[in-house]
Amino acid sequence: MQQYETVVILTPLLSDETAKEVIAKYTKLLKDNGAEIVQEDNWGLKKLAYPIQKKSTGYYHLTEYRAPGDLINKLEVEFRRDERILRFLTIALDKHAIAYNEKKRSGAFNQKKTVKTEEAAS
Amino acid sequence: MANDQIQYVTAPKVEDNRKKYCRFKKNGIKYIDYKDEKFLLKFINDQGKVLPRRLTGTSLKFQRKVAQAVKRARHIGLLPYVTDSLK
């Protein structure tokens, strides 16, 4: 079981509830296939640095989880089929990344963290 | 011999005392977060290109990681691929 991290960008056209539903659908898919969710982070609506599919904003969501490797393929196929998803990025975390994420979660670098949460809120 | 002025055959080198160093090695940073676009801004120029090691002083090991992080940040729309006025 390797630890992974996935960022998905949803279209801004969805309402908040539908966006949450879409996210819930994928977390359910993960859980049903034997993945263990480590953390979830909702960044909310953010401005994109460049337009993707003619949209200038996107709804960001980050999921960190432990899963068997063949699940990633399944998940990404689902992402590609889903028109509501503009972009996604899955990376495997190495031990430094896991340590970093854990530190970030516990709020070890406070200044950085507050800046980030403010961004997500605004 | 009232020639007080010293003349050089070749121009003397002006020494730059500040030695460049790898900030990751010095501060013990082992992982570069691609989600932290503010931090990555330090390693790209105003066109959004990655700065060379000779300017930032980053060691090769971490330069590769910086480049990887910048590419990931671009993919998820945190940094632009091309632009004219980033800073």
Quote the DSSP letter at residue B3: -
Q: Which two tokens stand for residue A7?
A: 């960022």
* Cα B12 off chain centre by: 27
CATH at A47: 3.30.70.60
Tens of pLDDT, residue by residue over A19-68, are 999 999 999 999 999 889 999 999 889 999 999 999 999 999 999 999 99
Q: Does A94 touch chain B (CB under 8 A)?
A: yes
Contact call for A50 and B80, based on CB within 8 A:
yes
Has residue A117 got a pLDDT over 70?
A: no
| Residues facing residue A5 across a β-bridge | A64, A91
For residue B49, tell me if it sits in a domain.
Answer: yes
- Mean pLDDT, to the nearest integer, of A95-107? 87
Instruction: Provide the domain count of chain A.
Output: 1
User: Around Cβ B42, how many Cβ atoms within 10 Å?
Assistant: 10
Q: Which residues of B fall within a CB distance of 8 Å from A9?
A: 76-77
- Mean pLDDT, to the nearest integer, of A94-115? 75
CATH at B32: 4.10.640.10
* Res. A121 pLDDT band, cuts 50 70 90: very low
The torsion of the CA quartet A94, A81, A45, A117, rounded to 10 degrees, works out to: -20
Q: Does A45 touch chain B (CB under 8 A)?
A: no
Domain span holding position B46: 23-75
Residue A105 and residue A99 in contact, taking contact as beta carbons nearer than 8 Å? no
* Residue of A52, A50, A70 whose CA lies nearest to B79: A50
For residue B6, tell me if it sits in a domain.
Answer: no
CB pairs under 8 A between A and B: 40
For residue B70, tell me if it sits in a domain.
Answer: yes
Tens of pLDDT, residue by residue over B12-57, are 777 667 788 888 899 888 999 999 989 999 999 999 999 999 989 9
Instruction: Provide the domain count of chain B.
Output: 1
Write down the pLDDT at residue B86.
73
Has residue A114 got a pLDDT over 50?
A: no
Q: Which residues of B fall within a CB distance of 8 Å from A91?
A: 34, 72
Q: Which residues of B fall within a CB distance of 8 Å from A87?
A: 75-77
For residue B42, tell me if it sits in a domain.
Answer: yes
Write down the pLDDT at residue B15.
67
Has residue A16 got a pLDDT over 80?
A: yes
Q: Which two tokens stand for residue B69?
A: 């992080």
Indicate the helix (H) or strand (E) that contains A91.
Answer: strand A85-92
Interface test with B, best of A47, A89, A119 (most B CBs within 10 A): A89
Q: Which of B33, B75, B77 is closest, CB to CB, to A58?
A: B77
Write down the pLDDT at residue A122.
44
* Res. B8 pLDDT band, cuts 50 70 90: confident
Q: Which of B31, B72, B81 is closest, CB to CB, to A89?
A: B72
Query: Residue A95, CB half-sphere, CA atoms under 13 Å: how many?
Result: 0
- Is the pLDDT higher at A108 or at A102? A102
For residue B45, tell me if it sits in a domain.
Answer: yes
For residue B43, tell me if it sits in a domain.
Answer: yes
For residue B68, tell me if it sits in a domain.
Answer: yes
Domain span holding position A73: 2-121
Phi, psi of B46 (to 5 degrees): -75, -5
Q: Which two tokens stand for residue A18?
A: 């539908």
Its pTM stands at 0.79
Contact call for A87 and B31, based on CB within 8 A:
no
* Res. B2 pLDDT band, cuts 50 70 90: low
* Residue of A116, A106, A100, A102 whose CA lies nearest to A42: A116
For residue B44, tell me if it sits in a domain.
Answer: yes
Amino acid, single-letter form, for residue A66: R
Write down the pLDDT at residue A120.
47
Write down the pLDDT at residue A61.
93
